[in-house]
A and B are shown apart, each in its own frame.
Chain A
Amino acid sequence: MVLVCVPALAMAQEHAHRMDDSTKGISFGGMAVVLVTQVDPAVRGTTLREAYLSQPMFMLQARSPNERIAARVTWNLEGAVMRRGELTPGIYGEGYIDRRHPHTALHEAMLVAQHALRGAMLSVSAGKGIVPFGSDDPMMRPFQKFPVNHHIAQILERAVVIGAARYGIVALEGSLFNGDEPESPGDTPNVDRFADSWSARASLAPLAGLETTVSIARVTSPEDAEGKGLNQRKVHAAARYETAATRGVQYMLVEYGHTGEYRRTRKAWDFSTTLVEAGGALGPVRFALRFERTTRPDEERTEGDFRSFRPLLDFSILGRSRWDAGAVNLSTQKRIGAQLAITPFLEIGLSRVRPTVLPTTFVPADFYGASRLWAVSAGMRLHAGQMPARMGRYGAGRTSPAQDH
Chain B
Amino acid sequence: MNSRLSLSRARGATLGIAALLCVTTACGDDDALPVQNQTPIISAPLAMSVLGRGNLVDRYTAEVYAHGNFAYTTTWGRRGALQTTGNTFYVWDVSGVLPVLSDSVLAGTDVTTIGDVAVSDDGKLLVVPTELVPGSVLIYDLTNPAKPLLLSRYTSPSITRGVHTCEVARVNGTLYAFLSVNRSATLSKLEIVDLSDPTAPRSVLVRDMGNPFIHDVFVRDGRLFTALWDDGLVVWDIGGGGKGGSVSDPVEIGRIRTVGGQVHNAWWYQDRSTGSKKYVFVGQEGGGSIGAASSGDIHVVDISNPAAPTEVAFLNIEAGGTHNFSVDEANGFLYAAYYNAGVQVVDVRGDLGTCNADARSSDGRCDLKKAGRHHAEGLRSAGMPVYIWGVHYLNGFVYASDMLNGLWKLQGYTR
- The interface of chain A, by Cβ under 8 A from chain B, is 44, 224, 226, 228, 230, 263, 266, 268-269, 300, 302-303, 309, 311, 313-320, 357-361, 363, 365-367, 369
Contact = CB atoms under 8 A, between A and B. Distances in A.
A189 B338 CA distance: 39
B211 A357 contact: no
Q: Output the residue of B264, B288, B289 with the most chain A CB within 10 A.
A: B289
A344 B295 CA distance: 51
B83 interface: yes
A366 B215 contact: no
A367 B264 contact: no
A363 B286 CA distance: 23
Given A228-B211, A314-B213, A319-B289, 15 more contacts: A263-B286, A266-B286, A268-B287, A311-B183, A314-B287, A316-B287, A317-B290, A320-B289, A357-B289, A360-B291, A361-B60, A363-B80, A365-B81, A366-B83, A369-B81
B368 to A, nearest CB: 21
The dominant DSSP class at the A interface is loop
B83 A319 contact: no
B287 A263 contact: yes
Given A366-B80, A367-B78, A358 B211 contact: no
A224 B188 CA distance: 14
B230 interface: yes
B293 interface: yes
Interface in B168-213: 182-184, 211-213
Interface of B: 60, 77-81, 83, 132-133, 182-184, 211-213, 215, 230, 262, 264, 285-293, 295, 385, 387, 403-404
A263 B229 CA distance: 13
Contacts of B182: 313
B290 A319 contact: yes
A152 B106 CA distance: 41
Given A228-B212, A311-B183, A316-B287, A361 B385 contact: no
Contacts of A365: 81
Contacts of A226: 212
A357 B385 CA distance: 12
A360 B79 contact: no
Contacts of A316: 285, 287-290
Nearest to A269: B289
Contacts of A269: 289
B83 A361 contact: no
Given A228-B212, A367-B78, A309 B184 contact: yes
Contacts of B404: 359
A311 B211 CA distance: 11
Given A302-B133, A314-B285, A314-B287, A359 B292 contact: yes
B292 A319 contact: yes
29 contacts: A44-B83, A228-B211, A230-B287, A263-B287, A268-B287, A302-B132, A309-B184, A311-B183, A313-B213, A315-B262, A316-B287, A317-B289, A318-B289, A318-B290, A319-B290, A319-B291, A320-B289, A357-B293, A358-B292, A359-B291, A359-B292, A359-B385, A360-B291, A360-B292, A361-B77, A361-B79, A361-B290, A366-B79, A366-B83
Contacts of A315: 262, 287
Contacts of B133: 302-303
Nearest to B403: A361
